[in-house]
Amino acid sequence: MVAIPFEVSRSAGPGQKPRFDKFTVNVSEETPILTALLQIRSELDPSLGLRYSCRQAICGSCAMRVNGKSRLVCSTPVGPEFRAHGKVVIEPMANQPVVKDLITDMTPFWDRYRRVHPHLILDPAHPLPKDKESSMTPEQFDQFKETPRCIACGACYSACPALGSDDEFLGPMALAKMYRFVVDPRDSAYRQRLATIQNQSLWLCLRCNMCVEACPKDVRPAERIVDLKRLAIQELGAPEQGSRHAEKFMTNIEDGGVLNEMKLARETLGIFGTLKQIPKGIQMMRHGRSLKKHPPIQGVQEVKVIYSELNKPEDLMHRPRPAGKGVKGGGQ
Amino acid sequence: MKVAYYPGCVAQESGKELDIATRAVAKILGIELVDFPNFSCCGSGFIDEANQTLNVALNGRNLAIAEKASMDVVMTVCSTCQGMLAHAKHTLAKDPVVRKRSDETLTKIGYRYQGTATPKHLMQIIVENLGGAEKLRPYVKRPLTGVKVAAFYGCHILRPHDIMEFDDPEDPHYFEDIIRVIGAEPVYYRGRVMCCGFPIQFVKPATAERIAGKQIQEAKRHGADTMATPCPLCHISLDNYQKEAGRAVGEELDMPVLHFPQLLGLAFGLDPKDLGLPRHLADTTGLVEKLSRVAVPA
């Protein structure tokens, strides 16, 4: 048994400034943080508010921040956190209003989930067979083997820095969920789904991979979002800033093998956008930061061969995907 | 040790000071940098969004160039280059479909990717090849005593962990270990592992700048004298766009932002001018003044 100092965020409700209450609990290092919190509630402070249910990483109720990281507390042991930080600081999930103490109001999370229409949309002209199961190939199934594992715990939503900075972003869970329907061969709204996110939300993902680390089920939302970006470009072209930037970056490197920063700005931002960047350019030049074009790399012809061979549509729907890191915690 | 040096686009263009500082520091540390003028851009994550196979093949070529010259380590000085090269190596090992397409293409231009070269960031080389932060101690000529340094890691050197295999992806410590050895005091704040906003600077500048502003603001609240980053793209967000970031969060930020090799160079006694500090947009003179009070022994 080890005496573990806890600092727990306490808040009376929405908009109230939280305070940190200190508790010490005697538990073994393997003890799940949830168990320690329940011990605090039963022995030290019965007013502590927290949400939990299954205690085995299935229900997705107990996501919180543990020393800043978004985690299911039922499957996170006390020991490593205590050893790394000398204490365990518990806060409610981020990016959502707090109801009380460690309980958040997940309405913004569920609103975004609803916005991606998380259900099969069938084409009435091609109904599913009534008398037998609707089959798909193992390759088709492979495309969404990660996403159905999601337990909607909100850990990714809490960990996402884009969500905290832009209300328009749909967030990792909702977009990963949309991906699951986009690649489902039974779904008929494939292009419409992509079109609804193409304009803005899709391209606000920062690719920071915080969601990949936070997800207890290895759904790897950031990677599913990149999958969506490729599908969107392939199906709908590059009609707006985000996809245009990716496309123009790609063709930019074909020219000289190395980035031409000025050209990229001009092509992505257009004439007016580039004009707006002029004061920044002057400021940079004053500090000796030239934006001179870099000469082409040696062997730029080799790069051009790679482009001529591979700058073609990829088979994005039916390609087997390598296995991920495996599922953390119990249950499936 | 001898490494294939992969400076990346920014260090060769607008962020030339990173290249200058890297060469100076590598010389002191006895890391021999071999230049390959045929290395291409890593794709910076953007090419990957448009075409994964093309992106992997471009980086497969980069790694194969080093392998052809019998080099085992490709040294990067950019978290994003490091991320892209490591992603390519991972995909070539795990995805037979992409591997086949890449191999077929590289054969046409006379390369054979074998997987023997490993991309490593300079920070990773210090930790894994030179024996850890402690090994820097003999080179420290001007300990940065009293200077509070806020490390800003840059996402792609850390995450996803199963591909990057470096430090703790959400709770790292190698950078802070180094900061301590060079005599400075590390500043702990959540933003140190967060995104700088750079990937969406061209998509939605207002959001990108708000994100950068939040991280600088937090470093400042924690008393940082300077931030330091192993990623030149983070440097663009935190330094080049600091004025805009400040406006986005409603605060004059006034925070020097160093490239990781510049921070080492200062501790090794090099002249701030020779490390390219005057090229930064956020003023570094206050920091340099503070350092000048620490005498450098002849």
Spell out which residues of chain B touch residue A220, defining contact as CB-CB under 8 Å: 160
- State whether B95 and B197 are in the same domain: no
Q: B9 CB contacts (<8 Å, ≥6 apart)?
A: A258, A259, A261, A294, B41, B44
Nearest to A208 among B91, B159, B168 (CB): B159
| Shortest Cα–Cα distance, A43 to chain B (Å) | 31
- State whether B78 and B156 are in the same domain: no
What's the pLDDT score for residue A258?
A: 94
- When pLDDT is averaged across residues B254-277 and rounded to a whole number, the result is 97
Residue of A nearest to B279 (CA): A287
- A15 CB burial (10 A radius; 0-12, 13-18, 19+): exposed
Nearest to A204 among B13, B171, B207 (CB): B207
Spell out which residues of chain A touch residue B214, defining contact as CB-CB under 8 Å: 164-165
Report how far residue B116's alpha carbon sits from residue B1's, in angstroms, rounded to the nearest whole number: 17
Nearest to A310 among B105, B111, B280 (CB): B105
Alpha helices (H) along chain B: 9-12, 16-29, 46-50, 52-68, 79-94, 96-108, 122-128, 161-164, 174-181, 205-221, 232-235, 242-249, 260-267, 285-292
Report how far residue A21's alpha carbon sits from residue A105's, in angstroms, rounded to the nearest whole number: 21
Can you tell me whether residue B5 is helix, strand or coil? strand
Spell out which residues of chain B touch residue A294, defining contact as CB-CB under 8 Å: 9, 12-13
| Shortest Cα–Cα distance, B49 to chain A (Å) | 5
Report how far residue A178's alpha carbon sits from residue A7's, in angstroms, rounded to the nearest whole number: 37
Report how far residue A257's alpha carbon sits from residue A301's, in angstroms, rounded to the nearest whole number: 9
Residue B46 lies in a domain: yes
- State whether B46 and B167 are in the same domain: no
Confidence of residue A330 (pLDDT cuts 50, 70, 90): very low
Residue of B nearest to A166 (CA): B207
- State whether B53 and B145 are in the same domain: no
Q: A161 CB contacts (<8 Å, ≥6 apart)?
A: A206, A208, A210, B194, B195, B211
Please answer yes or no on whether A291 and B280 come within 8 Å at the CB atom. no
Domain span including residue B281: 133-292
Please answer yes or no on whether B160 and A162 come within 8 Å at the CB atom. no
Residue of A nearest to B282 (CA): A287
Nearest to A314 among B53, B194, B210 (CB): B53
- State whether B140 and B264 are in the same domain: yes
Residue B94 lies in a domain: yes
* Long-range contacts of the stretch B292-296 (C-beta < 8 A, 24+): B294/B142, B294/B143, B294/B144, B294/B145, B294/B146, B295/B142, B296/B141, B296/B142, B296/B269
- State whether B15 and B65 are in the same domain: yes
Residue B128 lies in a domain: no
Domain count, chain B: 2
- State whether B180 and B288 are in the same domain: yes
Question: For the whole model, what pTM was predicted?
Answer: 0.95
Report how far residue B237's alpha carbon sits from residue B230's, in angstroms, rounded to the nearest whole number: 13
Final residue of a structural domain among B63, B95, B122: B122
Strand-pair partners of B101? none
- B166 CB burial (10 A radius; 0-12, 13-18, 19+): buried
The 10s digit of each residue's pLDDT in A51-88 is 999 999 999 999 999 999 999 999 999 999 999 999 99
Residue B180 lies in a domain: yes
The 10s digit of each residue's pLDDT in B14-50 is 999 999 999 999 999 999 999 999 999 999 999 999 9
The 10s digit of each residue's pLDDT in A248-299 is 999 999 999 999 888 888 888 888 888 888 888 888 888 988 777 789 999 9
The 10s digit of each residue's pLDDT in A21-41 is 999 999 999 999 999 999 999
What's the pLDDT score for residue A332?
A: 36
Final residue of a structural domain among B91, B122, B153: B122
Residue B127 lies in a domain: no
CB–CB of A216/A151 below 8 Å?
yes
